[in-house]
Amino acid sequence: MRRIDAPTLKRWIGDGQELAILDAREEGEFGTGHLFWAVPCPLSRAELAARALLPRRSVRVCVTDGGEGGLAERLAAYLESLGCSDVAVLEGGVPAWRAAGHVVFSGVNVPSKAFGEWVEHHYGTPSVDPAGLKAMLDRGEDLVILDSRPMDEFRRMSIPGAINVPGGELVYRIGEFVRGPGTTVVVNCAGRTRSILGAESLRAAGLPNRVVALRNGTMGWELAGFACARGETRTYPPGTPAGAAEALARARRFAERAGVRSLTREGLEALRRDGSRTLYLLDVRAPEEFAAGHLAGSVNAPGGQLVQATDRWVAVRHARLVLVDDLGVRARMTGGWLRQMGAGYEVYVLEDGLAGRLEEGPGAVACPEARAIRAPALSAPELAARLADGAAQVIELSRSIDFRASHIPGALWGVRTRLAALAPRLAADREVVIAAPEEALARLAVPEVQGLVRAPVRLLAGGTRAWREAGLPLQADRSDPPDEACIDFHLRPYDRNSGVAEAMRAYLSWEVDLVREVARDGDARFGLPA
């Protein structure tokens, strides 16, 4: 297995060639400290994530970890088994990177968040603080508050009166909410990045209204002593919005300034045949639109989230990104920002991506390793009956944050590849049923669980979604797992069970400070490519 040192990797980052840096730790561990351009590819999900993150197997890859020993090597070996032909391990991992004098970043989605801070500084994005917004509301000013996060985050906490319009939808759907130039548009998120990028998207698109970001989002609102709403679901009406033609004209101008190109299916096929470059095909529409019909081989990456968390979908710097939507508004706005993120992306909008035959459903990356594992399955009603009889016990592999909110009653939470910690809590005389959001993940865990128990090991057919769809009872416990056990998820301040206000202040300070840390690191060149 090839190993490289920190100076070699630093040269690679700056040489302008394609490069993916994958970190083998769980996301929560990754968030404690990592390289700026590193992307989490935890061993627990490697079979489900690696193929999507590395669509070209000959791309140059460096694998790292936190210096624990063995994690990076295990991931590198797996990548080589997939056919990846240019894989190296960073000797000594993140500690060696720090020891070489390079910057180590905490948190997640760092390139995107740092980019958001750069956007505010570079474009002078105006903002209003929570007290100012509250005064505007009390005066009854003509304004609309648009929350640029996904609906699940909006439901958790929102500014009273806000409407959920995820960031990639803002320019496309603004005509539904602003009928005249006198309305002030306030864009918010939980903190800063999506507020800034959402507000600046509307400004860059030429919306004549006053547009401001809510400084520090819902966290700032609560720190100022105001109460957030919970459980709200107000959102945009479905279908093609009013003003779509005007939105397209605005998005075209923005994308052209950023160097976003257009192509047709014929051009896409030519890019696919070019084995010298990595290609990502990303559908930037809302998940429900994607599920109703999408181009075969595309991956759903809603536009606002793609800019906010690019490392969730794209691991290779200097790759080609082909973006798909219906009219081209969302793809162009997303592409215009991706071009400025300093990762060297070559960005295209696919003009006819939804013409002709389409696939339905949420889409999934093939996982032959999971298909090869044989294990008997139980339906959700069958599992419920066995639990009622005391004949079964459940291990659930949901994300820790999701398990807290909703899980099968009595289930034990765990992380695949780390399940040995559950062995003392497993009864020897009851079958073990593995449940996960994706049945493939549960199937991958079967050999590990079989090594822990003598009892039969089964799967929940259809995963935890089947349990919910059957209307079976669910349990919630915010303290299970406790904060310190959530290694699989980087807890946000408001996810914590203690010290929430202190964590919010620390997070907001961290975001603001990213610009200075990025400048010190020297590996990001935000702005339009030369």
Written as one string, the DSSP assignment of 334-350 is HHHHHTTSSS--EEEEE
Quote the pLDDT of residue 183: 97
Quote the pLDDT of residue 487: 97
φ/ψ (deg, to 5) at 459: -115, 155
User: The tokens 């390139």 sit on which residue?
Assistant: 111
Q: How confident is the model at residue 529 (pLDDT cuts 50, 70, 90)?
A: confident
pLDDT surpassing 90 at residue 370: yes
Quote the pLDDT of residue 85: 98
Distance CA 193, CA 87 (A): 33
Distance CA 244, CA 402 (A): 36
Distance CA 517, CA 529 (A): 21
Quote the pLDDT of residue 69: 78
What is the arithmetic mean of pLDDT over 220-245? 96
- List of residues 6+ apart from 278 with CB closer than 8 A: 18, 54, 55, 56, 59, 316, 319, 320
Alpha helices (H) along 124-150:
130-139
pTM of the shown model: 0.96
User: First CA to last CA across the chain, in angstroms?
Assistant: 37
User: The tokens 């000797």 sit on which residue?
Assistant: 91
Average pLDDT for the chain: 96
What is the arithmetic mean of pLDDT over 391-406? 98
Q: Which of 241, 252, 106, 90 is nearest to 177 (CA)?
A: 241
pLDDT surpassing 90 at residue 356: no
pLDDT tens track for 224-235: 999 999 999 999
pLDDT surpassing 80 at residue 23: yes
pLDDT tens track for 88-105: 999 999 999 999 999 999
Q: Which of 350, 290, 293, 307 is nearest to 170 (CA)?
A: 307
pLDDT tens track for 114-168: 999 999 999 999 999 999 999 999 999 999 999 999 999 999 999 999 999 999 9
φ/ψ (deg, to 5) at 112: -70, -45
What is the arithmetic mean of pLDDT over 180-195? 96
185: which 2 tokens? 């548009």
- List of residues 6+ apart from 199 with CB closer than 8 A: 125, 126, 127, 185, 187, 211, 212, 213
Quote the pLDDT of residue 116: 97
Quote the pLDDT of residue 528: 86
Quote the pLDDT of residue 398: 98
Q: How confident is the model at residue 366 (pLDDT cuts 50, 70, 90)?
A: confident
pLDDT tens track for 480-489: 999 999 999 9
What is the arithmetic mean of pLDDT over 249-258? 97
Quote the pLDDT of residue 179: 80
Neighbours of 269 (CB within 10 A): 10
Neighbours of 491 (CB within 10 A): 17
CB 337 within 8 Å of CB 310: no
Domains of the chain: 2-108 (3.40.250.10), 114-237 (3.40.250.10), 255-350 (3.40.250.10), 368-485 (3.40.250.10)
pLDDT surpassing 90 at residue 409: yes
Written as one string, the DSSP assignment of 375-430 is --EE-HHHHHHHHHTT-EEEEE-S-HHHHHHSB-TTPEE--TT-GGGGGGGS-TTS
φ/ψ (deg, to 5) at 223: -65, -25
pLDDT surpassing 80 at residue 530: no
pLDDT tens track for 281-317: 999 999 999 999 999 999 999 999 999 999 999 999 9
Distance CA 158, CA 98 (A): 38
From residue 357, alpha-carbon distances to 272, 341, 360 in Å are 19, 33, 10
Distance CA 136, CA 450 (A): 61
